Structures are given as C-alpha cells and as structure tokens.
C-alpha cells in the first residue's frame, strides 16, 4: 500500500491504508465526533468540532488548530453516508473539494481509500503547495492508524 497521498489524476489526491481493525469500528472512528476529535488532522494539530451531523445534507463544522497557533475554519456537507461502506462529503470552505472515503474488509482488517477531488488541477496544486494537502492527508491517516493500534476507551 502506498504510504503517501498520490495524485490519481490532475485533480485528485488518493491515499489507501489497511488498518488492523474491523470495518464497523473504522467507520465509527470516522463518523463519531468523540473519536474524530482524537485523530483528525496532521501531526501537531488539534481539532475543535462545533457540529457533526453525519447524514446526507448534514454539516460538519470544525476548527483545526495548528501547532503555530493558527486556526483553520472548515465546513463539510455530507452527500452520502452508507455505513459501513462509504462516506462522501464536500469541503465547502476553501479550498473546495469532494472527499470520498470507502471502507472494505481485508481479512481481519479494513482497507480505507480516501479520494480528494478538487475543482481543477490548479486548485489541487494550490492545496498541495499552500496547505500541504498531500502530506496532511498522509499524516491524518497515520494518526488514525496510531489510534487504532491502541486499546479504545
């Protein structure tokens, strides 16, 4: 499995990981605000979740707090919620992109594929250059893997 987010097309970033955890649990880690608050974001970031309504049409509003003290407001709108197989949501704050996350059984584990599709190749390049979107995606999935390797409270 690739350990970095790679462009699948000139408009996309795609990353895949296999986690040693059942699919229902991995899906729950992605949709339960208490769990998400423990791993979402690149290394060194924390998150404050203001709203997380995981249903089609629901809104997820949160602030990523950077290690340098910078706050990044984010808003997502859920388009599809198909437990425990698939999530699709749109990042409506800049930069705009559609996020598709799929969950598949792989033996005793779960394969997660994250596809970030930007409005254009230029927007994807800007997100990589200005926000480190590729490395941020990679680190966020690493943090999820770290959490899944620990006993959950």
Residues of the chain with pLDDT under 70: 1-8, 152-153
The residues, ordered by sequence, that sit 6+ positions from 11 with a Cβ below 8 Å of its Cβ are 117, 118, 119, 120, 121, 123, 124
pLDDT of residue 5: 55
In this prediction the pTM is: 0.91
The string of DSSP letters for 121-153 reads HHHHHHHHHHH-HHHHHHHHHHHHHHHHTS---
Domains delineated in the chain: 12-148 (3.30.530.20)
Q: Summarize pLDDT for 21-53 with one digit per residue, the tens.
A: 999 999 999 999 999 999 999 999 999 999 999
H helices of 33-120, in order, are 33-39
Measured distance CA(150)–CA(103) in Å, rounded: 20
pLDDT of residue 1: 38
Measured distance CA(48)–CA(126) in Å, rounded: 25
């Amino acid at each position: 499995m690739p350990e970095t987010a790679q462009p699948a097309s000139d408009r996309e970033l795609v990353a895949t990981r296999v986690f040693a955890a059942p699919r229902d649990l991995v899906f729950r880690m992605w949709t339960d605000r208490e769990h998400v608050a423990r791993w979402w974001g690149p290394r060194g970031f924390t998150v404050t979740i203001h709203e997380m309504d995981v249903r089609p049409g629901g809104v997820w509003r949160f602030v990523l707090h950077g290690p340098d003290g910078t706050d990044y407001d984010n808003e997502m709108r859920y388009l599809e919620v198909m437990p425990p197989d698939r999530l699709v949501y749109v990042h409506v704050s800049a930069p705009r992109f559609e996020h598709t996350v799929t969950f598949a059984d792989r033996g005793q584990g779960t394969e997660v594929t994250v596809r970030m599709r930007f409005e254009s190749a230029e927007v994807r390049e800007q997100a990589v250059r200005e926000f480190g979107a590729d490395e941020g995606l990679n680190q966020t999935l690493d943090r999820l893997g770290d959490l899944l390797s620990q006993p959950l409270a």
